[in-house]
Structure 1
Amino acid sequence: MQAWQVHQNGEPSEVMRLEDVPRPVPGDGQVLLKVRASNINFPDALLCRGQYQVRPPLPFTPGVEICGETEDGRRVIANPALPYGGFAEYTIADAAAVLPAPEALDDAEAAALHIGYQTGWFGLHRRAGLEAGETLLVHAAAGGVGSAAVQLGKAAGATVIGVVGGAEKADVARELGCDVVIDRRAEDVIGAVKEATGGRGADVIYDPVGGEAYAQSAKVVAFEGRIVIVGFASGAIPSPALNHALVKNYSIMGLHWGLYNTKNPKLILHCHERLTELAARGAIKPLVSEHVPFGGAAAAVQRVADGVTTGRVAVIPGLTEGGAA
């Protein structure tokens, strides 16, 4: 079979190689999956760079989120068991963690439902306790993680403010349903948020960016607000001023979604059931901006790493350069 392999760490476009490799053999408690669609996540770039919290042995195949097909024909979503990632024709996954793909979503959408939407659901509901009528601020609102949080926030009855970088991404955020869109390249984020909230600030802030975005968050979080730390796509990890959190009376919450797989896996299934219900009634629908042929995976991962994409980018085995499967 064909798979993208990383033999040394570096930028995705430089270190990902398309190779012929043996089909992986499932171990105890694992299943073989034929990949129908593999969604690109920022952690795939971090894996290539050797900067992710999990460092599989070299060589490995990146791709942490797929829609696949079991040997008995079931359509499922899963996180592949590294080093056998999803940018391959076949992968393996832990049987206990395989979930049924929602019927309301196609393969690319189903692949994109898992990490981003689970992270959003746990961040907004389990950690921050978002309530109807509250104001939610989402950084990188047009990206894969941010777009999921926007849709989940709207489904929960929140007023959603989306912060984006550029006019094109601002258009995407509006289409996603943001009530207010702020282009950080053209506007003063702090002033715009205060104006939009009458000076009160945002009740919940969803931050997958870090760096300057976090500094802005601390200045616009409301009384008893909650800042949810999801990641550091900017590459800069901030050092919060805890005296500021005390004086303004707000909470800083970390979210490591992967821990729930080991600490409380039943919650993963509960979340998936809620997400499936939301998808069935059209309240959420993953934004898949590109369907990329298998041979274009490395370049696509690099674009995600560079922050120039919107929504999710899906790699489709069997898709030709002309777009036909």
Structure 2
Amino acid sequence: MARLQLTDFGDPISSVRLDDTPPPAPGPDEVAVEMLATPLNPADFLLMRGLYGVRPELPAPLGAEGVGRVVDGAPALAGRRVLIMPGLEQGLWADRVVLPRHRVLPVGDDVDLHQLSMLALNPATAQLLLSQYAASLAPGSWLAQTAANSAMGRYLNAFAHRQGLRTLNVVRRASAVDLVLAAGGDQLVVSDDTLRASVKKALAGERLSLVLDATGGPVVKELARAGW
């Protein structure tokens, strides 16, 4: 079983190694899953550098979410494609993993593999942000988000529109503009020297009701000027 393991906290180039231990057989209430796709998230690199909210005991397997196909254990799931619920225990940057049966959810083969592999973390985070901070906003209200070209930012745009909200999206480079607009962003600005004027023009005299920030820095100050 080839898998990536973290051996020390620091630069991933030197602290991650390939482990090729033979895979264990699944025990009772466990399944063996052949991995098909697993994403790399910013949180993964924070964990490797020791900057995440938890520090696993080393050496630690890497990879928190993904999708695979059951190859052993749980006969009712044999051959089924499954979404794996996020966690840090098993480590999904591997060719095969053994994990508890309750950690897998059968899904269809007609769903885009790469989108499916990201389903458990980014969409849930976007929906949680809106349910916690935007539930009381009236339809038509403006919310702003930084890092709008991230996967979570694109989900947030989709969910905000379902709630009847309008989105002001901030990106760091002009090359990301088309990507965010294609994902349904209402207005888009680049966090350069023209940010203040661009925000004012995009809002056309209206005010922001909510700012969701993923980057920090001076851009938050400029967005706060346009709020409330």
Query: Which TM class, normalised by the smaller chain length?
Result: 0.7 to 0.9
CA deviation map 1:105-140 (0-9, x unaligned): 311110112201010011113442155322221211
Q: Percent identity?
A: 29
Tell me if 1:139 matches 2:146: yes
Residue 204 of structure 1 and its aligned partner are, at CA, apart by 2.7
Q: 1:173/1:186 Cα in 2 relative to 1: closer, same or farther (>3 Å)? A: farther
Instruction: Note if contact 1:80-1:94 (Cα within 8 Å) is conserved in structure 2.
Output: no
What is the one-letter code of the residue matched to 1:44? D
Aligned equivalent of 1:178 = 185
Residue 30 of structure 1 and its aligned partner are, at CA, apart by 4.9
For residues 87-166 of structure 1, what are the structure 2 equivalents within 5 Å? 87-101=93-107, 105-129=111-135, 131-166=138-173
What is the one-letter code of the residue matched to 1:155? R
Highest RCO, 1 vs 2 (Cα 8 Å, sep ≥ 6): 1
Superposition RMSD in Å:
2.5
What is the one-letter code of the residue matched to 1:204? L
Looking at secondary structure, tell me which structure has more helix per residue. 1
Report the Cα distance in structure 1 between the residues aligned to 2:9 and 2:201, rounded to whole angstroms.
45
Aligned equivalent of 1:209 = 215
Instruction: Note if contact 2:38-2:117 (Cα within 8 Å) is conserved in structure 1.
Output: yes
Instruction: Note if contact 2:85-2:105 (Cα within 8 Å) is conserved in structure 1.
Output: no
Residues matched between the structures, number:
221
CA deviation map 1:82-126 (0-9, x unaligned): 342111012244543433436653111101122010100111134
Q: 1:164/1:33 Cα in 2 relative to 1: closer, same or farther (>3 Å)? A: same
Aligned equivalent of 1:47 = 47
Report the Cα distance in structure 2 between the residues aligned to 1:15 and 1:21, rounded to whole angstroms.
18
TM-score by length of 2: 0.84
TM-score by length of 1: 0.61
Larger Rg: 2
Residue 186 of structure 1 and its aligned partner are, at CA, apart by 5.0
Unaligned runs of 5+ in 1: 223-325
Residue 48 of structure 1 and its aligned partner are, at CA, apart by 0.7
Q: 1:53/1:156 Cα in 2 relative to 1: closer, same or farther (>3 Å)? A: same
Report the Cα distance in structure 1 between the residues aligned to 2:50 and 2:26, rounded to whole angstroms.
25
